[in-house]
Structure 1
């Protein structure tokens, strides 16, 4: 609600009845005092949580508000794995971006946001944005890999399907029908009666949004679900028969719904902020190309045409560079649900993973324990009771092994040998089920495979889509409403931040 609600007569009367002795603060108290104080407190908490992250995935997007002066904003979300292998994400900024949306200005804006949050560019393992040329160019100089949003690319491909003349005509007829019901309370009322009579779920018809193909699919699917009830309503009034799509249009809508349903499901799954997504991208793409979009004998001409359009456009949009392919292969390999089952060349993938593990080990490997420390631990007197306990015996065994490793002439295994040993162990373990949590698996096996787990920590936090940033703008659109069109850009940022980060 707008800050000014605290000065409205109705609200003041309510508070006077509810808490007579309480004096309601002014509007300026909330806008200039309370909200900034809350923002400062929550920001400090988020900054503390960010210290758990070693590697970070990021998303960003650009948006222009539809109210006020049409101010442009840039969002910034961060994703990382905590010390206990929990995938965490935060909306950090929704900043006013008055400059031209050139690649140079986007790069400068992102660098300033990273600096403000004390996140090093070198700590970014990936950035996911839409496929716009300015975004693509903006992050070429970053040390991390840039990924095009899978959802955006799929949206572009399916948008071309919806422009096929027969599909466009059928979709327009369905949209006309939905509008005819939404503008008439009488038809809505009769639809509810028919739904009850026919024992059909009492769902409302759905309007689509032109920029979101998912909403068009939902509109078509809902029409097909309610088709019997809709026909019952329209049959009772001759003047409404023109709303009903023709039989040919309904057949087209059924074919469109049948093709888009699995694609819609994949888009929703890969847009999650609570699950690992990038490692699933390669298996999903392979399934889409080899199963969903492959021509079948039973397919009609229109279905084959739609599949061809999506396949050609999607393959063109997803022309991954060698660096992108490398990251996709590594992320899929270190996901215990897939391992190497989706690698085009398993040996090359293991080699790339090995190179990454060695690079990480050279920067983050802990120094070996000092000899004085091991000596003091072995010379520490222990009681007879402790020596006979399991912990005491294990302490003696590990101390003896450490002493042997410090003995001159003892050959310590090289880092490469350690990694090879970990890969052999990893490959020997059975893959977990597809619906299991890969992060929970790594949490249980991190001590067995410390080098490989570092690679997993780096790449499993990268989101496959830029949907997190788009969700930020959906929320900002509700905050910067027509009733709050004079809200300052600073307050938009603070209120959006609080919405996403308050516990």
Structure 2
């Protein structure tokens, strides 16, 4: 008998109201829930068989981790294969290349919206046998934020002379479509670069970190400093290599209630490594002569003059370390920091005693000249953190602004008269400064653009120029691991891995 309520039954098309058939409604809802559950289960099973989104996401996270730490390509592939045994041939490579293409498209879009750029070049040796260039660009985007992107890492096609490198850079800039947007080039280890750029519209600027490191290296070549360093290394090596000697030193320090710290052997000849060693030695030396004498190592004991010189060397090098700590940016710091940093650094060196301080001051003058007349003083004057220390003469600064605008006619963005510049400068000079820890680019983006419109265009352009050719975390010998790791990346993946290391921000 047909069910009453179904079409064709004795009751015709009549159907019971939902409220009158709770059992039937519940059965239908349960069937729908079961179908949905089965569909989800089947989808999950198919996903895990065919390469699940979870595995793909995990692979993407792992790739990001390997790229960030510059892990070898074969190591990364082996770990992914262990997580996904049925990994298709080339699937790992395809995933990485897909991410590379996505990231490259995003970077190209960002470059397309920029008006003016700065190019930096890191010249480095690949396994001591080949010279490579890592090229990056820097600019202030349309929202007023500073951006940095590694563009390419490539082998020098010819001898790494300044002329050959410029030709290679022009080719790279042309490929990326930014050659006409570049106004400044920053490099290290290339003394003839200024002459090589004579036929281009690019301005050359040496890497500040490299120049500063060079000044310290030259100053420490003095005979007295070298003799002292050699003897200090010998003392530290004696205690670090002799277990009994170090044990005796710790016992003696404990008896005398001296503070104990780990002695440090310098990892290289860099000044930061040497400073760390000398600081620890100076801090713990009081107990050392007793142990050295007991072991008939009297020749290692520092005399009164050497102890005094040790303290002077530590003080001088700490001055450089403290000064460079002003460059707190992770990545790249702009050149507006250079003149304030030099003023602070050279001012402290003048007050110090010791041969090294005198040599360091002389080297700073040789490499940088008088900070007050340095051409970078204009950039520092347009930084609201330092303007009160730099911008004291409106007329001379106005003349520098006009001269700078004439020298960079391509970037002239204002039709105002010269008088408006002087009026803006006067207002800017009388305006409150911002704290040293403030963001000058944000200040020009928000406050400066409203109150000093003409000046803000110049200031933002200047703020786009960075001070170093490499990120600050590597500029002062702080990231030796990065330099070592990139040398052991496979040639075929070198460009892609270093590109993603800089630009892949999203997982």
TM-score range, shorter chain: 0.7 to 0.9
User: Which SS does the other structure have where 1:132 is aligned?
Assistant: coil
User: Which SS does the other structure have where 1:263 is aligned?
Assistant: helix
Does the alignment pair 1:294 with 2:350? yes
Counterpart in 2 of 1:249? 306
CA shift in 2, pair 1:43/1:217, >3 Å: same
CA shift in 2, pair 1:86/1:237, >3 Å: farther
Alignment of structure 1 residues 50-449 onto 2, 5 Å: 50-66=111-127, 70-121=129-180, 123-130=181-188, 132-184=190-242, 198=257, 200=259, 202-203=261-262, 205-210=264-269, 212-228=270-286, 234=291, 238=295, 244-270=301-327, 272=329, 276-289=333-346, 291-294=347-350, 299=353, 303=354, 305-318=355-368, 325-326=374-375, 328-339=376-387, 341-343=389-391, 346-354=394-402, 356=404, 415-416=417-418, 418-445=420-447, 446-449=449-452
Residues 237, 265 of structure 2: 8 Å contact kept: no
Rounded Cα–Cα distance in structure 2 between residues aligned with 1:26 and 1:190: 60
Match of 2:453 among 432, 450, 454: 450
Rounded Cα–Cα distance in structure 2 between residues aligned with 1:245 and 1:91: 48
User: Which SS does the other structure have where 1:90 is aligned?
Assistant: strand
Shifted more, 132-141 versus 248-257: the winner is 132-141
Structure 1 position 79, deviation (Å): 2.0
User: Which SS does the other structure have where 1:431 is aligned?
Assistant: coil
Structure 1 position 172, deviation (Å): 0.7
Structure 1 position 461, deviation (Å): 1.9
Structure 1 position 150, deviation (Å): 2.5
- TM-score normalised by the chain length of structure 1: 0.73
- TM-score normalised by the chain length of structure 2: 0.72
Rounded Cα–Cα distance in structure 2 between residues aligned with 1:183 and 1:333: 52
Greater gyration radius: 2
Structure 1 position 245, deviation (Å): 4.2
Counterpart in 2 of 1:478? 485
Structure 2: gaps spanning 5 or more residues: 1-70
Matched pairs, number: 429
Rounded Cα–Cα distance in structure 1 between residues aligned with 2:77 and 2:426: 68
- Give the structure, 1 or 2, with the largest relative contact order (CA under 8 Å, sep 6 or more): 1
User: Which SS does the other structure have where 2:387 is aligned?
Assistant: coil
Structure 1 position 319, deviation (Å): 5.3
User: Which SS does the other structure have where 2:136 is aligned?
Assistant: strand
Structure 1 position 239, deviation (Å): 6.0
Residues 323, 345 of structure 2: 8 Å contact kept: no
CA shift in 2, pair 1:188/1:80, >3 Å: farther
Structure 1 position 293, deviation (Å): 3.0
Counterpart in 2 of 1:465? 468
Residues 107, 138 of structure 1: 8 Å contact kept: yes
CA shift in 2, pair 1:365/1:78, >3 Å: closer
CA shift in 2, pair 1:96/1:363, >3 Å: closer
Match of 1:46 among 96, 100, 107: 107
Rounded Cα–Cα distance in structure 1 between residues aligned with 2:136 and 2:250: 42
CA shift in 2, pair 1:271/1:78, >3 Å: farther
Structure 1 position 332, deviation (Å): 1.6
